[in-house]
């Protein structure tokens, strides 16, 4: 099993080494500040993996139809787009748009004047919180507001949410009411910024969902016509576009933990590499559903992170707490899944013995 993750572990050590060097030099040799920076990088990488578990599952379902040559290319060439495109360039673009800066100016500030960069990002925090929180909350709600969903982890809550899915756009109404409620706690200027950003986050989510639906429809049409769409360059490009769409939540969620571009890039890059390795592992193992409730835990973590981002426009919430909540939810859902598998195994053994 470890052979699937060898390169990811090597990549992690390199990124942590770069993070330690950056933290040490930028803090003037402060060991505590360096350790705190490394902790955030680790939490970001864990969060990226947990938020992207569904990404790995979908990737695996597509990748298994491609030959081994293109599987390797997805793991190598594709990582350049996933890491440097979505995890480095995209966060800079978010900051540039939110702060009204040019891309070169934003990059120079992030590298040469991190204190000023932090001040600019902090001044745009209300907009980033509204946009990112709305997008993440919708990602999580969409998973649970589903009439066809039959796997429930926190059953007393998830069953009710699935029933509410019979009401068209119920999750959108819930998000809009939440945005309005939080906006009443802000100053008028900030409230307007928060509401506009939140609505744009909602629109972005709908657009990403639309892109995914179009890609899925085209792939299904090609399969019905007998075309092999995922064995060469076309499948490679298709998979990377799909992967980029799924990675949006992790990129946005990173701002709940850090506004530092280098920290975000290092943490998310580690996570992206492990998601790639996890995808290959799932394909080679031939199973996508070994842990029954893990996906539920990942989407609860997304909802919690989204709500924390929304409420961070009103009050500061420590980044460590944010990361730990997500890790705890993932850990509990994994443990619950293992318990479920053991009970099923014992039941089958008892049935055989009887």
User: pLDDT tens digit string along 97-155?
Assistant: 766 778 788 778 777 776 676 676 667 778 878 888 888 888 888 888 877 777 788 88
Phi and psi torsions of 290, nearest 5°: -70, -35
Do the Cβ atoms of 143 and 300 come closer than 8 Å?
Answer: no
Query: For position 47, what pLDDT does the model report?
Result: 73
Query: For position 256, what pLDDT does the model report?
Result: 65
Q: How far apart are CA 9 and CA 16, in angstroms?
A: 10
Phi and psi torsions of 259, nearest 5°: -105, 5
Query: For position 215, what pLDDT does the model report?
Result: 62
The angle formed by the CA atoms of residues 184, 250 and 53, to the nearest 5 degrees, is 125
Do the Cβ atoms of 281 and 112 come closer than 8 Å?
Answer: no
Residue bearing the bigger pLDDT, 294 or 244? 294
pLDDT 10s digits, 20-66:
998 888 878 888 888 888 888 888 887 777 666 656 666 666 676 66
Do the Cβ atoms of 45 and 274 come closer than 8 Å?
Answer: yes
Burial of 232 (0-12, 13-18, 19+ CB in 10 A): middle
User: Model-level pTM greater than 0.85?
Assistant: no
Residue 151, token pair as written in the block = 């796997």
Burial of 149 (0-12, 13-18, 19+ CB in 10 A): middle
- Check residue 326 and give left, alpha or beta (phi > 0: left; psi -120 to 50: alpha): alpha
The DSSP code for 147 is T
Residue bearing the bigger pLDDT, 142 or 184? 184
């Amino acid at each position: 099993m470890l052979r699937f993750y060898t390169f990811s572990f090597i990549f992690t050590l390199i990124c942590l080494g770069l993070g330690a060097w950056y933290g040490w030099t930028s803090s003037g040799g402060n060991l505590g500040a360096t350790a705190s920076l490394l902790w955030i990088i680790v939490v970001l990488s864990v969060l990226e993996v947990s938020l992207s578990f569904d990404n790995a599952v979908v990737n695996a379902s597509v990748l298994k139809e491609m030959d081994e040559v293109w599987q390797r290319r997805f793991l190598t060439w594709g990582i350049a787009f996933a890491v440097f495109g979505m995890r480095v360039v995209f966060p800079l673009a978010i900051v540039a748009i939110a702060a009204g800066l040019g891309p070169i100016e934003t990059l120079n500030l992030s590298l040469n004047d991190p204190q000023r960069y932090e001040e600019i990002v902090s001044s745009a925090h209300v907009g980033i919180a509204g946009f990112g929180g709305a997008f993440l909350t919708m990602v999580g709600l969409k998973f649970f507001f589903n009439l066809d969903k039959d796997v429930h982890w926190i059953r007393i809550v998830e069953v009710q949410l699935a029933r509410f899915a019979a009401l068209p756009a119920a999750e959108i109404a819930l998000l809009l009411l939440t945005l309005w409620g939080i906006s009443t706690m802000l100053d008028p200027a900030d409230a307007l910024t928060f509401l506009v950003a939140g609505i744009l986050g909602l629109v972005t989510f709908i657009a990403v969902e639309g892109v995914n639906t179009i890609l899925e429809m085209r792939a299904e049409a090609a399969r019905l016509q007998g075309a092999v769409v995922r064995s060469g360059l076309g499948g490679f490009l298709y998979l990377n576009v799909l992967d980029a769409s799924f990675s949006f939540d992790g990129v946005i969620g990173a701002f709940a933990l850090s506004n530092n571009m280098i920290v975000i890039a290092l943490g998310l890059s580690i996570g992206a590499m492990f998601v790639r390795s996890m995808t290959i592992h799932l394909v080679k193992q031939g199973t996508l559903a070994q842990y029954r409730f893990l996906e539920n835990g990942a989407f609860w973590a997304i909802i919690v992170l989204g709500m924390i981002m929304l409420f961070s426009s009103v009050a500061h919430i420590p980044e460590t707490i944010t990361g730990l909540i997500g890790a705890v939810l993932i850990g509990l859902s994994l443990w619950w899944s293992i318990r479920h598998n053991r009970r099923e195994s014992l039941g089958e053994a008892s049935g055989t013995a009887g």
